[in-house]
Chains A and B, each alone.
Chain A
Amino acid sequence: MPDKLYTHDHEWLQIGEDGLATIGITDHAQNALGDIVFVELPEPGRSIAKGDGCAVVESVKAASDIYAPLSGTVAENNPAIVEEPALINKDPESSGWFFKLRLDDPTAIGGLMSKADYDKFVETL
């Protein structure tokens, strides 16, 4: 699999050769949110634009919006985290993925960070 890319909003995405991007939140994000108890995901077929609020995560203490890192159409969402939201805390960057997006333009990845750059960014927070 290709390397993950990261946003300043603490999301990760991994773009497959099929042009599908798998999207989730980072370990730093789940740690900051605390115990996640509810997640609302975009339905397959929904078209979303970069920067749109497209999912909601609720921890015991607060609700947080998840913003689309790139534009595209939702291909699939992850029923496992709806069933068991704590999976996002346990395994945020793998089985705790949120949804897959068929990207409008898989080459439009400007502004996203590498793992190393994201880790540096987190250290500055």
Chain B
Amino acid sequence: MVPFAGYDMPVQYEGIIAEHLACRNGAALFDVSHMGQAEFLDAQAFEKLVPGDIIGLKPGRQRYTLLVNEAGGIIDDLMVANLGDRFQLVLNASRKEIDLAHLAAHGVRVTALPNRALLALQGPRAAELLDEAAGLTFMAATEIEVSGIACVVTRSGYTGEDGFEIGCAADAAEKLAETLLARGAVPAGLGARDSLRLEAGLCLYGNDIDETTNPIAANLAFAIGKRRKLDWDFLGGDLVRLASENEPLKKLVGIRIEGRAPARAGTAIRAAGETAWPIGRVTSGTFAPTLNAPIALGYVRSDFAAAGTPLDLIVRDRAIPGTVTNLPFIPHHYVR
């Protein structure tokens, strides 16, 4: 167990690699109840703070979006689901208080849901284990009962695999978890969650994106709705537009690294064979269990961001060769 964003969180149960592979090959269950949950009614008011098309989000659908500040930096990345009679938010644990204060300060009426738990069931067998929700497609959202427990289920996750995120009342969470474990899911901790999301090329708030990162440099332009690009009428929109119309100074890229030594967050990146000033820095790095090789996400100067560009990563004062690689590192397996 480790402290994380004010919670005691399990890093691992059986072992990170075993849990990671269980998710890639079967079904893993993560307790992600530390994530913030909240709901709101007014899509119009909410849209003024995010680049996503929320007014156009149909009932039963979920969308990934960003809270952006005046400077075009990312306050948080989050999920918004239209549940028909209300919209539901899933926020990063470390950012939820900041998000809620930001929303309130800009006149968006949001109700925090501190007594909701959230479980993530992820992997190719997830739909078999949660057949109540097998009819959903990727990024669909619905309210159903699982073993008599009222749940908000979305077909989404943070692993690159098919799967579900399942919200329920906190006092029902233990029973829900036991139900899913009894159906064959393997418990998995924060360690596997991190290695899975990194292989899937998904950003971690605080590592890969923060209030100084603009969505364009972070490859998150896809989160800007088509309609929103017509008038850019959201907080920070003028600066996000400016970033989108110019080549960013630096870009977030995936890097495959030779050998077996992981290059952790903070590792300096240099042009291959050069001893000059670094041209970038690793923001997330680990050993990828599926690839059996180290991988990293990091920002590099834009002229070094093309796939195939050779780089040196400076690990313990030694240059280790790496190559810019298209993301994700392993293909996503979403059911669309």
Given known A34-B191, A37-B287, contact A58–B15 (CB-CB < 8 A): no
Interface contact tally, CB-CB below 8 A: 47
- The answer to whether the Cβ of A67 comes within 8 Å of any Cβ in the partner chain is no
Q: Determine, out of B29-37, B220-228, B258-266, the stretch whose residues face the partner at the interface.
A: B258-266
- The answer to whether the Cβ of A35 comes within 8 Å of any Cβ in the partner chain is yes
Q: Is the CB of A63 within 8 A of B264?
A: yes
B1-33: contact bitstring with A at CB < 8 Å (1 yes, 0 no)?
Answer: 000000000011001111010000000000000
- Contact-size category for B: 20 to 34
Within 8 Å CB of A85, what residues of B? 260
Q: Which residue of A lies closest to B195 (CB)?
A: A60
Given known A34-B191, A37-B287, A56-B316, contact A61–B16 (CB-CB < 8 A): yes
Q: Is the CB of A60 within 8 A of B289?
A: yes
Min CB–CB distance B241 → chain A (angstroms): 39
| Chain B contacts with A in 135-191, Cβ cutoff 8 A | 191
Chain A to chain B contacts (Cβ below 8 Å), 26 pairs? A34-B12, A34-B15, A34-B16, A34-B191, A35-B15, A35-B16, A35-B289, A37-B260, A37-B294, A38-B261, A38-B287, A38-B294, A40-B261, A40-B316, A56-B316, A59-B16, A60-B20, A60-B191, A60-B286, A60-B289, A61-B11, A61-B12, A61-B286, A63-B262, A63-B264, A85-B260
Known: A60-B289, A62-B264. 20 other contacts (CB 8 A): A34-B12, A34-B16, A35-B15, A35-B16, A35-B289, A37-B294, A38-B259, A38-B261, A38-B294, A58-B260, A58-B261, A58-B262, A60-B16, A60-B262, A60-B287, A61-B11, A61-B16, A63-B262, A63-B264, A85-B260
